[in-house]
Amino acid sequence: MWVERTQKRYPKSWKYIKGVRRAIERHGERIKNISWDYAHKIGDLIVELAYRHKSVIILEDLEKLREKELSVARDSTRSSHCGSTAEYSSA
């Protein structure tokens, strides 16, 4: 929030003013730390609930998920534009 306000206040010059840039970096680091702390607390809560209910937590790598979704959407768009109307007939 503070970072966005500062960047709006100095729309072009914030990149070149050393003090403003340093303040943005400092507050950005603070925001990042707060976000990391919150995620860590939520993770601890999930682990505690799983332990209490004798459940298992399964982790999955979701790093490439967005790219796969976009490629599937692109492929479905291409196939719908190929001119075939047999898929849409109501028989």
DSSP per-residue string spanning 11-32: TTGGGT-HHHHHHHHHHHHHHH
Domain membership flag for residue 89: no
What is the pLDDT confidence band of residue 89, given thresholds at 50, 70 and 90?
very low
Over residues 22-56, the pLDDT tens digits come to 777 777 777 788 888 999 999 999 999 999 999 99
Domain membership flag for residue 62: no
Domain membership flag for residue 33: yes
Contact 7, 14 (CB under 8 A): yes
- What is the rounded distance in angstroms from the CA atom of residue 68 to the CA atom of residue 1? 32
pTM of the model: 0.44
Domain count, the chain: 1
Domain membership flag for residue 87: no
- For the chain, counts of helices (H) and of strands (E): 3, 0
